[in-house]
Amino acid sequence: LDVVFDFSYILALIVLTLTLCLNHNCCQDGWLQFKSHCFKVFTTNENFKTSEENCVSAGGHLASMHSNADNVFIKDLVWNTTNSNAVTWIGARDAGQLGKWVWTDGSAFDYSIWSNGQPDKHSPLEQCVEINYLGTVFQYFITVLKS
């Protein structure tokens, strides 16, 4: 899939999962543990592709969500880090087949909470997913470290 992404105005939510955390407080300084992963919001102005590449370089991937609890955690993490309801990249992307989506970390795409009418496929650029809570636009992303 060779696609040019030019969404430099969007907050990229990169959630890096550095290690599998089985104990409390095993994340490095600046990271927040949720379940068995470490998360961090990066406030940089990057497109989806570059954000995922930055996460991979740091040892993780853009965040994937598998439950309402994950969704709430990520929403709260962005809010608490940025003091805003920033538009944020997560690790979901189009699998190249209409209606099929995948997570960049390779986990099962078993949870979604689309806005009304989404994904609508009105634009060939709709091949990656952002989350947005109040319709405002900022410039950040979150990374989850690999386990």
**Which domains are delineated in the chain?**
11-145 (3.10.100.10)
Going residue by residue through the chain (147 aa), what tens digit of pLDDT does each one get?
Answer: 444 444 433 444 445 444 455 566 678 888 888 888 888 888 888 888 898 998 888 888 999 999 989 888 888 888 888 887 777 888 988 887 777 889 999 999 998 877 766 776 655 556 787 876 654 443 445 555 554
What pLDDT does 17 receive? 47
What H or E segment, with its residue span, contains residue 38?
strand 37-42
Q: What pLDDT score does 108 carry?
A: 92
Q: What is the pLDDT of residue 7?
A: 42
Q: State how far the Cα of 4 lies from the Cα of 125, in Å rounded to an integer.
A: 8
Long-range pairs for 31-36: beta carbons < 8 A, 24 or more residues apart:
31/145, 32/77, 34/70, 34/73, 34/77, 36/147
Which pLDDT belongs to residue 104? Answer: 93
Q: What is the pLDDT of residue 139?
A: 41
